[in-house]
Amino acid sequence: MKPSSETRSIAIVEDDATMGALVLQMLARYGLPTQLFTGGFALLKSEVLSSFKTIVMDLSLPDMDGFELIQKLSERVSDVELVVMTGRGNATLESACMVAEGLGFRVAGALNKPFSHLELYLALKLREPGVS
């Protein structure tokens, strides 16, 4: 069952294979189209970048930091919401949210790692399957 009347595709940008698989698993029950990218450049080079409605992104990536990725995304896409995640604490999350909002993005959530599936669901405003 779809969580809303419109299907939205979600990009996950996470270089840690375990964390990426965990986020994919958390979202699998909703049947939403998801795609995992292991770095910022991989997302930016994707031919389907403009099709994503939501980007769940780590702020610590091997090829660029999250702030640089937010800047580069602002040059390529406009109608996308962001969920930022990091293990570096609230100050980093707050700074990233301010930068993203300053560039015109809607920030749906800011998650400190590790986070629960409930925190991710709430950030994405998903409903449990079968609940209307």
Q: Where are the domains of the chain?
A: 10-124
Cα torsion 36, 42, 46, 123: sign: positive
pTM above 0.95, yes or no: no
Q: Answer whether CATH 1.10.150.130 is correct for domain 10-124.
A: no
Identify the DSSP state of 60: B
Burial zone of 131 (CB within 10 Å; 0-12 exposed, 13-18 middle, 19+ buried): exposed
Per residue in 66-117, pLDDT (tens digit) is 999 999 999 999 889 999 999 988 999 999 999 999 999 999 999 999 999 8
